[in-house]
Amino acid sequence: MIPKILTIAGSDSSGGAGIQADLKTFQEYGTFGFSTITSFVTMDADENWSHTVTSLSTDLVDKQLKTVYAGAPLQALKTGMLGELDTIRLARKYIDMYNQKNIVVDPVMACKGTSELLQPENVALMKELLLPVATITTPNLIEAGILSGLGELATIDDMKQAASRILELGPKNVVIKGGKRLNTDKAIDLFYDGDAFLLLENEKFETDYNHGAGCTFAAAITAGLGNGLSVKDSVLLAKKFVAAAIKNGLEINPFLGHVWHGAYNQAELRLKKEKN
């Protein structure tokens, strides 16, 4: 049976991040995507692409979750941008009610290109209710600094310290995305399962077309878990998947460029075609 995967996240109408990134990625992984939308992120072209986040009522979130969980069990769940505080409570309620496994918590706190934090008051509740049940959490460098309480992270050693602190909050695994922000030649992420640190590296691409990279990476890990891969293998494959998506990023509008979620499979297909 095809793995069923749910994303509880915000909608990015521009198509690169949020729910849109998640569903595209789930599909690329051959899994069946479900969604519960928590909020809408809209961007204003007259205001230099400034972001506005409008949250959905908790009642509507509840109705979506009821719909999703009415069917058979879900093999994996990803959380992204969470709207109201009650939405976080609801997510936890459904996780407990349906004994949900394979939970990826992407602790989305800000959109790329904006320094302003999105719903900072959510961070405390996410720490309290979602991180303790997470199979893995996927903070970027800024989010890892905030979750760990260590502030600015500048080195791999800083990332290791942050990873240890984040694991104390309850998730079974953590991957901190050094990505473009870490001052290294390669794009380096740090995976930690409580036993050993593993550095994941790939070429750092010179591109600004990276909108949606974080969502795509977390969605790929979720779909890997849903497909039955181990946590480590899911992370290793997701790193390749998102690297291809960034390498083949697309100019979408005058303000930003998106990762191309279909790039990894298209490259595979091309290779297969060339072999035949």
Distance CA 196, CA 225 (A): 20
- Exactly one of 81, 187, 245, 246 binds ligand PLP (CB under 6 A); that residue is 81
**Residue 241 binding: pick among ligand ADP, ligand PLP, none (C-beta 5-8 Å cut-off by kind):** none
Residue 82 sits in the site that holds ligand PLP (CB under 6 A): no
- Exactly one of 210, 227, 234, 248 binds ligand ADP (CB under 6 A); that residue is 210
- Exactly one of 147, 213, 235, 244 binds ligand PLP (CB under 6 A); that residue is 213
- To ligand ADP, the closest distance from the beta carbon of 212 in angstroms equals 7
- Exactly one of 187, 190, 219, 256 binds ligand ADP (CB under 6 A); that residue is 187
Name the phi and psi angles at 210, rounded to 5.
-125, 15
Give yes or no for a contact between 192 and 171, defined as CB atoms under 8 angstroms apart.
no
The helix, strand and coil proportions of the chain, stated in percent and rounded to the nearest 5, come to 40, 20, 35
Give yes or no for a contact between 138 and 221, defined as CB atoms under 8 angstroms apart.
yes
- To ligand ADP, the closest distance from the beta carbon of 150 in angstroms equals 17
Kindly tell me which of 33 and 249 has the beta carbon lying closer to ligand ADP: 249
Residue 249 sits in the site that holds ligand PLP (CB under 6 A): no
- For 102, how many CA atoms within 13 A lie in the half-sphere containing its CB? 27
Residue 12 sits in the site that holds ligand ADP (CB under 6 A): no
Residue 108 sits in the site that holds ligand PLP (CB under 6 A): yes
The residue assigned the tokens 């800000």 is 110
Name the phi and psi angles at 14, rounded to 5.
-75, -10
Token pair listed for 59 = 């009642």
Strand duo 4-12 + 76-79: pairing: parallel
Tell me, rounded to whole angstroms, the distance of Cα 183 from its chain centroid: 22
Give yes or no for a contact between 200 and 236, defined as CB atoms under 8 angstroms apart.
yes
Name the DSSP letter for residue 202. Answer: E
Instruction: Determine the interface stretch with ligand PLP among 89-97, 104-112, 163-171, 175-183 (rule: CB under 6 A).
Output: 104-112
- The residue count for binding ligand ADP (CB under 6 A) is 21
- Exactly one of 16, 171, 214, 224 binds ligand ADP (CB under 6 A); that residue is 214
Three-class secondary structure of residue 143 per DSSP: helix
Give contact residues for ligand PLP (rule: CB under 6 A): 9-12, 17-18, 41, 80-81, 108, 111-112, 211-215
Give contact residues for ligand ADP (rule: CB under 6 A): 112, 140, 177-181, 187, 189, 202, 204-205, 207, 210, 213-214, 217, 239, 242-243, 246
